Structure 1
């Protein structure tokens, strides 16, 4: 059955169609939530909440993007909201003094650095940088979309991307020379 037909049946509150959409997207959306949360139980909770929210708001889905992209945004926002409530105490930097990131800059790392080390470095970033880096590099959002999701300006998104990349490079450089923790 076509995705458009499934969505239309879901709009008519067809439970079988809802289960079909759930089966089609649950695994991929779980992976998205896991990339943000790193905890299976939290990711499962966010996944369930996201599907409930999607089915409650399915009338708002207009087909301008694929259903998967629309659902992914709900999962990403749910994951970020969960993390924000978990860590309410964060210190804001005055980012007006930072230069704007150019996403075309070099993102390569030395050959001796494994993907796991890169992931660990991303996970150790302060959350405001981690969210932008993850949304840009892992989820593939552009700065306009990141700005909308995080309720920041595009300039702030670019700046946080640059700053996050700088932190990652420093963490990986320390590891490669054996001077890091």
Structure 2
């Protein structure tokens, strides 16, 4: 069944179509949720809630972006809501350790895997991790990130710059960065 047909059936509350759509996207969305929520149960709960919201708001899906991108935004927002509900305190690192203008003339070692870079991103403080993940891994722009995180675009740019600086520092410590 083609996706537009499946979505139309879901909009008319066809449970079989909803289950089909859920199965089609649940694994990928679980990976996204797991990037934000470290607890598997929290990630699974967030996915369930996100799908419920998606099915309730399916008439708002306009097709301007892919369905997967639209759903991913709902999943990320749900994960951030979970984090806010947990009253996640943002850990502040000594910002004196990061130069105001990080040296961007660096290259990741060719033996460094994407998984190792993702693991290094996991080591970032939350307020930098989420912006860096959304920008580098999810492909969101500053405007989208600032809306989702409810921060200014200026704060988003600053957090991304600092997040990249921390990332560079972490990768350097792990010997994954050259040309520093």
TM bracket, shorter-chain basis: 0.7 to 0.9
Count, aligned residues: 171
SS in 1 for 2:108: coil
| Shift in alpha-carbon separation, 1:108–1:79, aligned structure 2, 3 A | farther
Contact 2:91 2:126 in 1 (8 A): no
1:141 corresponding residue in structure 2: 140
Q: Does 1:163 align with 2:153?
A: no
- Alignment partners' CA distance in 2, 1:142 and 1:22: 27
- Alignment partners' CA distance in 2, 1:152 and 1:45: 26
Contact 1:100 1:155 in 2 (8 A): no
SS in 2 for 1:59: helix
1:128 corresponding residue in structure 2: 127
> How far 1:132 sits from its partner (Å)?
0.5
2:34 corresponding residue in structure 1: 34
Unpaired segments of 5 or more residues in structure 2? none
| Shift in alpha-carbon separation, 1:113–1:49, aligned structure 2, 3 A | same
- Alignment partners' CA distance in 1, 2:106 and 2:20: 39
SS in 2 for 1:176: coil
The range that moved more, 62-71 or 110-119, is: 110-119
- Alignment partners' CA distance in 2, 1:65 and 1:156: 26
> How far 1:139 sits from its partner (Å)?
0.9
Q: Does 1:108 align with 2:102?
A: no
1:57 corresponding residue in structure 2: 57
| Shift in alpha-carbon separation, 1:148–1:100, aligned structure 2, 3 A | farther
- Alignment partners' CA distance in 2, 1:41 and 1:129: 24
| Shift in alpha-carbon separation, 1:59–1:106, aligned structure 2, 3 A | farther
- Alignment partners' CA distance in 2, 1:31 and 1:5: 26
- Alignment partners' CA distance in 1, 2:30 and 2:52: 14
Q: How does 1:15-34 map to 2 (within 5 A)?
A: 15-34=15-34
Aligned CA RMSD, in angstroms, stands at 2.6
Unpaired segments of 5 or more residues in structure 1? none
> How far 1:119 sits from its partner (Å)?
2.6
SS in 1 for 2:80: helix
> How far 1:36 sits from its partner (Å)?
1.6
Deviations, residues 56-104 of structure 1 (Å, cap 9, x unaligned): 11122222212111111000111122122224433789x9xx9699xxx
> How far 1:116 sits from its partner (Å)?
4.3
